[in-house]
Structure 1
Amino acid sequence: MEKIKYVICIAAVMVAVIISCKTRYTTTTTTSFKATSSAANFDRGKVLVFSVCAGCHYDRRINKFIGTQIHDVPGIAGKVFAANLTHSKSNGITDKYSDAEIRYLLKTGVARDGRFLAYMLRPNMADEDINAIITYLRSNDPPLRAADTTVGITHFTFVGKAYMNLTAKPVPYKPDVPMPAKNNKVAIGYYLVDNLGCFHCHSKKLTSLNYLNPDQTKGYLAGGIKFKEPNGGEVKASNITPDKNTGIGSYTEEQFSKAIKEGIAPEGGKLKAPMPKFALLKDEEVNAIYAYLQTVPPKNHKIE
């Protein structure tokens, strides 16, 4: 009996070691995708990069995309730092990627060196928007000009590696995704809630997100995820379903716009970080998000 227990114990340790060490995936871009630059793509790309990427990669103290530490990763799992996206030859990474590799990273979460970057996942983003993001990242806009600095090197502990490999996996590569129809306001709203990452923060847990089918995520848009504030405090993401008592069911379109673009709640209070983060969105895009949220089943979930 003791021998069986010993064998089981050894097997469990070996499995744990294998799991913790598997931190690389095969990368296959399969295409020679090349972004097309234009003034319109630059403008759209800037909006998207500031709305999607800035939360992790933008340092507001110096107004540059030099990266930041992701403080929401528990210390027991290690330390995670967002990369420098500027055109730094020593520390920047954007110029080291081909357009096809950036596209593959955004679609699957797999970097060119095989690492899986869960925060990067945007499998349902249209190629038109990926094209715009790449156009902006390739530009010489001031926030992207070379800044030869690094905020830190990502390091996962044994626990972090094991956890990542058990719970976080790349998703299938979905190329050639079209934009939603321009006359379908609700579809546009759903597309934005997906690709701006609204459902990432406003659902039940970051570890149970359904990236391919966002509306099937547990606790979809009902809030509750905790985030660390710069001062060490915590803030919980709000319920943004149209429940009138615990969600945003009583918000007017104008109040909703003011909240996500200016960070001002209907009662006059200021929203805490990471909101507001959508100041650059067009009014019609904000209105489309509002229209979509009104179609989501209301959930009575009070957030303290």
Structure 2
Amino acid sequence: MAPSAENKLTGLAAATFTPFSPNGEVNLVQIGPYVDYLKEKQGVNSIFVNGTTGECMSLTIAERKILAEEWCLKAKDKLDYVIVHVGCMSLKDAKELAAHAAQIGANAIAVMAPFFLKPSTAGALRSFLQEVASAAPTLPFYYYHIPVITGVNFPVRDLLVGIQELIPSFSGVKFTGMDLMDFGQCVDNCPPQWSLLYGVDEQLLAALAMGADGAVGSTYNYLGTHANKLIAAFKLGEVVQAREIQFKMQQLLSFAMKVGFNVGVNKQLMIELSGLSLGPPRLPVMPCCSEDAKLIVAKYQQIFTEC
């Protein structure tokens, strides 16, 4: 069932990396320490697993299941919220993953639009999401909007028209897009029990000003403490302080983007900052050389020394 306005998801959720062994196999052993690191070192109490950062489309259905199981198991009694991304190119695969997420105790599921044979209209996408949600009708359901990956870029506001009648468990949107007008229209027209979660980390403050309930992002794996300070400052009306933290985050990400800020670079940065053994990304994503990662770490240390 969809959450109420009192218990809806707010705050930060880390989009987790998938731990691999050096030879490219899923490494479940690292998930327990990863959960502890997020909670104890970053103050992050929610996670979004098997998403873009987790290289979901490079995983088999079996791998996604065992990962979801382990994340839910290790997060139990430690983290507040585990969202499992179940989007696939195949409707049947997505429904299978949705049903599995319900069986293993996930708190919610999310689905991005299929992007090989793309939905041509908002109505077509609504029908796809409805079918996936029907496989796990008791779980809160989120639409994962990420047009830079999917190429599906009609306004999310159009998608949301009438969606709760089709999907009673619909609970909100993970909005990983740059269009703050569309995001604002979603906030303005959504019921209070939905969660509007923003997914472009370098624009978090702007999204909060537009009414975001929280955020999901890869950098919150290692910038969680700073992002939490930003959110706290914003809530207190300390906009100048919040802006200073956002600018520092932008400085780091701008520097990283010059190196080529893809999943491989991002994952190596997480490894350097956390000390976790997360392994390389899976081909075709190329690993980041440790020298480049160390340059970004040095920039992080320079920027956040006084933050």
More helix by share: 2
Between structure 1 and structure 2, the one with the greater Rg is 1
Higher strand share: 2
Alignment TM-score, normalising by the size of structure 1: 0.29
Higher relative contact order (CA 8 A, sep 6+): 2
